[in-house]
């Protein structure tokens, strides 16, 4: 059974909260990185923050979506989540 619109929006909000926590943890870890790697690390953090901001915009779009636009907004949200997840995993793998 597919989640209802309200359940999906609540899930997206929880994912945004998770993104925020993950980014905060990465920022903390960034303080421990050597100076020569810190610039690249910070660049990656900026990209993750931008993706998170896109997630906020998408959440707003989801809240404002009508029945006729819901499926498209949901698809875009799913794609955004997948892209963030891929970026986050690549980032954490690179800076182990």
What does each C-alpha distance from 75 to 8, 19, 54, 78 come to in angstroms?
12, 19, 14, 5
Q: pLDDT for 23-36, tens place per residue?
A: 999 888 888 888 87
CB 90 within 8 A of CB 25: no
- pLDDT for the residue 7: 93
Confidence of residue 59 (pLDDT cuts 50, 70, 90): very high
Length of the chain: 96
Name the residue ranges covered by the structural domains of the chain. Answer: 5-94
With vertex at residue 74, the alpha carbon angle to CA 71 and CA 75, rounded to the nearest 5 degrees, is 85
């Amino acid at each position: 059974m597919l989640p209802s619109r309200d359940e999906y929006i609540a899930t997206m909000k929880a994912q945004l909260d998770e993104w925020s926590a993950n980014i905060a943890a990465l920022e903390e870890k960034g303080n421990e990185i050597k100076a020569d790697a810190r610039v690249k690390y910070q660049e990656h953090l900026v990209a993750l923050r931008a993706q998170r901001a896109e997630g906020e915009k998408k959440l707003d779009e989801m809240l404002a979506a009508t029945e006729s636009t819901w499926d498209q907004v949901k698809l875009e949200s799913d794609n955004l989540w997948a892209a963030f997840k891929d970026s986050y995993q690549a980032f954490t793998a690179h800076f182990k």
